Amino acid sequence: MHRPDAASEALTDAVVRYAVDRVRMMPPPLDHPLSPDELRERAGRTITPEGLGGLEALRVFGDVLAPACLSVDHPRYLSFVPAAPTEASILFDLVVGASSIYGGSWLEASGAVYAENEALRWLADLAGFPPAAGGVFVSGGTAGNLSALLAARWRWRERAGGRHDRTRGLMLTSGGAHSSVAQAARAMDADVVSVPADPRGKLTRSALDATVARLDDDERERLFAVIATSGTTNAGVVDDLAAAADAAADLGVWLHVDGAYGGAGLTASSIRHLYDGIERADSFIVDPHKWLFAPYDSCALVYRDPAVARRAHTQHAEYLDVLHTEHEHASQNAFDWNPSDYAHHLSRRARGLPFWFSLATYGTEAYGEAVEATLRTTHAGAELVRAAEHLELVVEPELTIVMFRRLGWTAADYQRWSDAQLRDGESFVTPSAWGDETVLRWCIVNPETTPDDLAAIIDSLR
């Protein structure tokens, strides 16, 4: 299996050709899911004692399995939070896979880690973080939030000198926070106090101040983090980050900003003011695989003081000791940067490299322009909704999410329409909820999505 031969050479050519053809497909097919029975009938048994052979396995994937996977980079894939990776980032993902890089330590991947850190530095600068800031690329926002909050709790306990080592911690967050915050609390066995969000799902200063005022002495003692969101997943609004920063400072606790989706808006001068206050955070995350045009899976986790995160996350074992010695050389004035020391992981691929390569290829100005393009499409889509007699805008868009209702429809009507759109390959727009109401939402992160795409969807809702 490990020695190249004529068969592997043919397979290499076929795989590269398939990958390049898929990258160049404009637009790609939307495709649709199949049931287990349908896949079993079409694909058959794929894992056999003798093997299918590479070309046949590739055929099964291309003809059967791939069409049963939705293309998240389709311009009318507008549900959840889509992705729109650049051509350079996808092609370089092939290079990363072919390079057999273990991305956990400086010793084993100094070149890759250097490149990843260049990309992290750009993000840190966008947020106004100090020169010493840094972090790591993890798999996604859930992993990023959990890792940041583990570091926050570690600092709280470290400062208490052991007094809180067995105390159940407490976090303060908005009612509009992503579900991964509650999941992190469950994983950490911590409590959450939820600040009621305003009618748009935003954390506001008045609600935050009122919630803090209601905390009793025990809760204040147990509190270790305030969590704000820069771009809520459902409505796409940015919390009052300055208010969150003030609260965290007054309480003497960690401020974490979840920008998994919306943090990319830092690149757009037209909305940069929405993020005022993020420069005071202790950590923030942003997923390049969402609105920063990288392939899955990639979340940038950035710390104001990485040394705290390093103390919180570094794993110790006999065979790892060689990685944790601070080497001082004439050309090196700091410890080796081991990405595995900054999150709840050890083994990792160098998942930040496709994002780095895309940034290096196109330049950061192109990123700002692409994000601005999606904002313009969003505003055009909102205008189309306002002009449609059968539709009504639910929330004024702040980032790139448009939420609207189809007048007179029930939840069943929305679902039937959504299913038909996907079945016919027209669009992927799933029902969402706003309070007790079923609504629709577009999340526009693909610069290839146009107002004409949105107009076609509106026409289908008549």
Evaluate whether 192 touches 170 at the Cβ level (below 8 Å): yes
Q: ω before 27 within 30° of 0 (cis)? A: yes
The per-residue pLDDT for 327 is 46
Q: What's the token pair of residue 168?
A: 């159940």
Report the distance separating Cα 32 and Cα 428, nearest Å. Answer: 9
* Residue 86 backbone dihedrals phi, psi, to 5 degrees: -70, 160
* Mean pLDDT of all residues in 184-206: 96
* Mean pLDDT of all residues in 59-66: 98
In 328-448, alpha helices (H): 353-362, 364-387, 411-423
Report the distance separating Cα 213 and Cα 162, nearest Å. Answer: 27
Beta bridge partners of 101: none
The per-residue pLDDT for 103 is 97
Report the distance separating Cα 386 and Cα 116, nearest Å. Answer: 43
Instruction: Measure the CA angle with vertex 253, ends 249 and 257; round to 5°.
Output: 85
Tens digits of per-residue pLDDT, 399-449? 999 999 999 999 999 999 999 999 999 999 999 999 999 999 999 999 999
On the question of pLDDT at 379 being above 80, the answer is yes
Report the distance separating Cα 8 and Cα 290, nearest Å. Answer: 34
Evaluate whether 77 touches 310 at the Cβ level (below 8 Å): no
Report the distance separating Cα 98 and Cα 85, nearest Å. Answer: 19
Evaluate whether 214 touches 196 at the Cβ level (below 8 Å): no
Evaluate whether 240 touches 202 at the Cβ level (below 8 Å): yes
Fold assignment, 365-460: Aspartate Aminotransferase, domain 1 (3.90.1150)
On the question of pLDDT at 186 being above 50, the answer is yes
Report the distance separating Cα 381 and Cα 444, nearest Å. Answer: 10
Report the distance separating Cα 390 and Cα 462, nearest Å. Answer: 7
The per-residue pLDDT for 317 is 84
95-363, which class in CATH? alpha beta
Between strands 299-303 and 134-138, the pairing is antiparallel
> Which residues of the chain does CATH 3.40.640.10 include?
95-363
The proportion of the chain whose per-residue pLDDT surpasses 90, expressed as a percent, equals 95
Report the distance separating Cα 64 and Cα 40, nearest Å. Answer: 10
Between strands 170-174 and 223-229, the pairing is parallel
> Which residues of the chain does CATH 3.90.1150.170 include?
365-460
* Mean pLDDT of all residues in 1-11: 93
* Residue 178 backbone dihedrals phi, psi, to 5 degrees: -65, 150
Between strands 223-229 and 299-303, the pairing is unpaired
Tens digits of per-residue pLDDT, 242-292? 999 999 999 999 999 999 999 999 999 999 999 999 999 999 999 999 999
The per-residue pLDDT for 333 is 41
Evaluate whether 233 touches 399 at the Cβ level (below 8 Å): no
On the question of pLDDT at 227 being above 60, the answer is yes
* Mean pLDDT of all residues in 372-389: 98
On the question of pLDDT at 321 being above 80, the answer is no
Evaluate whether 77 touches 290 at the Cβ level (below 8 Å): no
The per-residue pLDDT for 335 is 58
Tens digits of per-residue pLDDT, 27-60? 999 999 999 999 999 999 999 999 999 999 999 9
Q: What's the token pair of residue 188?
A: 């950490």
Beta bridge partners of 191: 170
Residue 49's SS3 state is: coil
The per-residue pLDDT for 325 is 64
The proportion of the chain whose per-residue pLDDT surpasses 70, expressed as a percent, equals 98
The pLDDT-based confidence of 9 (bands split at 50, 70, 90) is: very high
